[in-house]
Amino acid sequence: MANNKCFLSIEDQVLLLEERGLIIHSKTEAENFLRSHNYYRFSGYAREFQEDPRHGKNNFSNGISFDDISSLMDLDQRLRRLLLEALEIIEASTRSVFAYEAGKIYGSNAFYLEKANYLAVTPGLDDHINKMHSQLLRKNQPTIERYRQGDDFSHVPVWVAIETMSFGTFARLCQYMANKDIILNTADSLAIAREGFSSTLHAYSSLRNKCAHYAQLWNRSFDISFKVRPKEKRDAPDFAHPGSYGAIIVIRRWLKQLDKDNGWFDQVTQLIDSNDLYRSGILKPKMK
């Protein structure tokens, strides 16, 4: 049956939280916060401090305040920004090198639109190619217009088309290319390990989408895991996998290989260590 809930005003949302035992020092500040942060998003963090929200027991643990939860949300926002900053560097570098390596093999031929250049096991290949077509068809792309002939994009070279692809489309292209020399050469050129290169790009694209759409990172496990090396696990604080911290470790490795770290990992570590509740939820998520 549908779980129908009544609409609540901002003021009533604050009253409900208070009735459930959440400490609210300033109703005005809480109301202002909920005006700019959806109550449903807030509840995703808040549920971790409730008795048993899965079974409708929504009272809060003793001593938990609105400020405790809003602070976690603020730290998550800052972590998302740091992750997006790192992923932008990784994505830009990888796109550029891939286009160069692919161009050396295929020249200006639009190989990425030809089914024969993909593995036979590629799932949803037609949808993948159609998506690239639609991305090439977007308006106001003068670089594409120079090469297209009506709806014919067979003369759009990869170094031009690569800039129209979403990160997810690009990652999928790398994952299912039949000619693996392109991927291996790209990894070698970036000084990134060949093993797991394409699957890591896929994980990066998934993580980027989570961050771009304000997904909760604290106290959440990922549906796609990052392959952390044994030595990295030994050198890291104790953490559960898959989760945010595994992604952070792999991103750190890639940035170091690209010589682009520039203190990024130190910023992330300082952020995580600034709040014990936040640290525990990043290292060892335990979802209610």
pLDDT in tens, 100-144: 999 999 999 999 999 999 999 999 999 999 999 999 999 889 999
Average pLDDT, whole number, for the chain? 94
Q: Flag whether 228 is in a domain.
A: yes
pLDDT for 236 beyond 90: yes
Number of independent structural domains in the chain? 2
pLDDT for 2 beyond 70: no
Is the domain of 30 the same as that of 121? no
Is the domain of 45 the same as that of 138? no
Whether pTM > 0.75 for this model: the answer is yes
Element (H, E) at 30: helix 27-36
Q: Flag whether 5 is in a domain.
A: no
The pLDDT of residue 216: 96
**DSSP 8-state assignment for residue 118:** B
Element (H, E) at 59: strand 57-60
Is the domain of 214 the same as that of 85? yes
Is the domain of 25 the same as that of 123? no
Taking the C-alpha atoms of residue 18 and residue 240, their distance in angstroms, rounded to an integer, is 33
Are 269 and 282 in contact by the 8 Å Cβ rule? The answer is no
Taking the C-alpha atoms of residue 261 and residue 258, their distance in angstroms, rounded to an integer, is 8
Average pLDDT for residues 172-182, to the nearest whole number? 96
The pLDDT of residue 3: 60
3-state DSSP assignment of residue 165: coil
Is the domain of 272 the same as that of 135? yes
- pLDDT tens per residue, range 198-219: 999 999 999 999 999 999 999 9
Is the domain of 274 the same as that of 246? yes
